[in-house]
């Protein structure tokens, strides 16, 4: 009996094409399919993409079981391992003892004093962005929110990681390389038969080319660090990491892989969340004015520091609501490595799971007016904390979650204090599952100085 047969006996199965299963639907809307399959069958259901079978999960209690209470029975699935062709053996693509040791080696780079350095770096990068926005405004042109937030995010990461500002040219090349490589990896993960990476197919050549772009940028900065004064940034902290016996924790290859991983994991997720936030505010002028009133009362036009961020509850709530409705990580995959049980039903060893963060965070059984943008839900205590996981939970909680929140809050506070935002194109913006849950077209913003 196969794993598929075993699962079929315990869980409902979504009906799909007899040969391709749900491959076409998944390719067209990867964020929606697991959410719809799970929600339509009681929170957990079986579906198929070509020859691979998955359990789609929107049930918040089982998601927590997989990620927290019985995490030892589950590990990152083949999709993460396949990404090593781009990331190398970084935190995003490994698991088990190797991953745990590496996370402990890197964790000191994210201690609280690093956040203190992040705040002024984010303010400087945001101020530079706003200066370019003024040029757009004076020319009567709309601001391309996605392109601008992506450059801002890369600029902030560049300063925090490498003590360098990522120029526009590098920003565009690096961002395009990341998006292209992960798009190609997704195609490999869902293809019927992926060619071995040594075979010089068009897709493989493109993968190796994009990896070379990422590697060259990162290794250049690592090599330069041998001949420059000590800098107080994440790369320097990782270089200084030592094992208990005094030996170096991370050689140049490990530094390259982890620096790439932090760039890849950090820039698109933060940029997309911030772009969605600006879109939401531009279409809700009353909410934007309420947000401005909070910012003015606390900041009086100044850039926020870490202490003032704690006194901006509506600002935090607006970002939380954005991440609820538009989670950058819309689903995560796991493989059951030891038989488990949930709700009296068996999860056989070898089962592949897609945990739909998107579906769980829009579940109307858990969230009042689940499809509406209502930041006020996060101002009280009566909301389902167990069903809100924008940075995942458990041992694989995003190591840079506090960095991302700090960056987004500072940038949002500075933007809303400076401008009123309006949509240059009133048509609704749809969602598209790319690396993140991205807008399906550029968000053009009109600016009105305050």
Q: Where are the domains of the chain?
A: 1-84+330-389, 100-325+396-450
Kindly state the DSSP code that residue 393 receives in the 8-state scheme: -
Kindly state the DSSP code that residue 21 receives in the 8-state scheme: B
Which 3 state secondary structure label does DSSP give 433? strand
pLDDT of 162 = 84
pLDDT of 208 = 82
Does residue 209 come out as left (phi exceeding 0), alpha (psi in the -120 to 50 range) or beta?
alpha
The β-bridge partners of 356 are 331
pLDDT of 25 = 93
Does residue 30 come out as left (phi exceeding 0), alpha (psi in the -120 to 50 range) or beta?
alpha
pLDDT of 240 = 87
The CATH number that domain 100-325+396-450 falls under is 1.10.630.10
Where do we find the tokens 């590990």? 75
Q: Please check whether residue 154 is in contact with residue 266, taking contact to mean a CB–CB distance below 8 angstroms.
A: no
pLDDT of 135 = 95
What is the Cα–Cα distance from 22 to 11, expressed in whole angstroms? 17
What is the Cα–Cα distance from 319 to 309, expressed in whole angstroms? 13
Q: Is the dihedral of CA 345, 393, 25, 41 positive or negative?
A: positive
189-244 per-position pLDDT tens digit: 666 667 777 788 887 788 888 888 888 888 888 887 777 766 788 888 888 888 88
Spatial CB neighbours of 359, under 8 Å, sequence gap ≥ 6:
34, 35, 36, 38, 39, 56, 58, 331
What is the Cα–Cα distance from 260 to 181, expressed in whole angstroms? 13
Tokens of 1: 């009996």
What is the Cα–Cα distance from 68 to 93, expressed in whole angstroms? 19
Where do we find the tokens 């259901």? 45
Low-confidence residues of the chain: pLDDT under 70: 1-9, 171, 189-193, 229-230
Q: Per CATH, which fold does 1-84+330-389 belong to?
A: 3.30.43
What is the Cα–Cα distance from 12 to 243, expressed in whole angstroms? 49
Q: Please check whether residue 414 is in contact with residue 127, taking contact to mean a CB–CB distance below 8 angstroms.
A: yes
What is the Cα–Cα distance from 343 to 338, expressed in whole angstroms? 17
pLDDT of 191 = 67
What is the Cα–Cα distance from 186 to 437, expressed in whole angstroms? 14
What is the Cα–Cα distance from 171 to 163, expressed in whole angstroms? 15
Spatial CB neighbours of 150, under 8 Å, sequence gap ≥ 6:
171, 175, 267, 268, 271
Where do we find the tokens 């003590």? 163
Given this chain, do its domains 1-84+330-389 and 100-325+396-450 carry the same CATH topology? Answer: no
pTM: 0.92
- Side by side, the strands of the sheet bearing 331-336 are 44-49, 52-57, 352-356, 331-336, 74-76
The β-bridge partners of 53 are 48
Q: Please check whether residue 181 is in contact with residue 211, taking contact to mean a CB–CB distance below 8 angstroms.
A: yes
């Amino acid at each position: 009996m196969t794993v598929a047969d075993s699962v079929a006996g315990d869980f409902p199965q979504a009906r799909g094409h007899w040969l391709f299963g749900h491959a076409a639907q998944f390719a067209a809307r990867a964020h929606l399919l697991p959410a719809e399959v799970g929600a339509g069958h009681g929170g957990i259901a079986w579906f198929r993409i070509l020859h691979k079978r998955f359990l789609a999960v929107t049930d918040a209690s089982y998601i927590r079981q997989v990620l927290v209470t019985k995490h030892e029975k589950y590990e990152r699935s083949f999709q993460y391992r396949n990404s090593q062709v781009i990331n190398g053996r970084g935190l995003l693509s490994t698991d088990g003892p190797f991953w745990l040791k590496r996370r402990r080696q890197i964790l000191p780079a994210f201690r609280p004093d690093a956040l203190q350095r992040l705040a002024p770096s984010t303010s400087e990068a945001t101020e530079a962005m706003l200066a370019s926005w003024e040029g757009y405004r004076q020319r009567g042109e709309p601001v391309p929110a996605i392109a601008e937030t992506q450059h801002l995010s890369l600029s902030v990461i560049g300063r925090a990681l490498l003590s360098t500002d990522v120029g526009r040219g590098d920003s565009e090349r690096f961002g395009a390389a990341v998006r292209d490589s992960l798009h190609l990896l997704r195609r490999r993960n869902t293809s019927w038969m992926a060619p071995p990476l040594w075979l010089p197919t068009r897709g493989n050549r493109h993968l190796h080319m994009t990896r070379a772009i990422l590697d060259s940028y990162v290794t250049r900065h690592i090599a330069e660090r041998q001949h420059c004064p000590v800098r107080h940034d994440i790369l320097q902290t990782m270089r200084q990491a030592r094992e208990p016996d005094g030996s170096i924790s991370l050689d140049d290859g490990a530094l390259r892989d982890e620096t790439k991983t932090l760039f890849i994991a950090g820039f698109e997720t933060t940029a997309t969340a911030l772009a969605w936030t600006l879109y939401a505010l531009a279409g809700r002028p009353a909410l934007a004015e309420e947000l401005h009133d909070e910012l003015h009362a606390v900041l009086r036009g100044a850039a926020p520091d870490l202490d003032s961020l704690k006194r901006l509850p509506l600002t935090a709530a607006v970002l939380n609501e954005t991440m609820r409705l538009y989670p950058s990580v819309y689903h995560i995959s796991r493989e059951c490595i030891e038989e488990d049980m949930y709700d009296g039903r068996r999860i056989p060893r070898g089962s592949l799971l897609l945990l739909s963060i998107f579906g769980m965070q829009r579940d109307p059984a858990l969230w009042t007016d689940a499809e509406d943008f209502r930041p006020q839900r996060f101002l009280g205590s009566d909301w389902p904390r167990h069903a809100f996981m924008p940075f995942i939970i458990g041992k694989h909680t995003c190591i840079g979650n506090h960095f991302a929140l700090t960056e987004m809050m500072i940038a949002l506070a500075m933007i809303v204090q400076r401008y009123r935002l309006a949509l240059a194109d009133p048509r609704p913006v749809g969602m598209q599952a790319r690396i993140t849950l991205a807008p399906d077209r550029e968000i053009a913003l009109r600016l009105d100085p305050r």
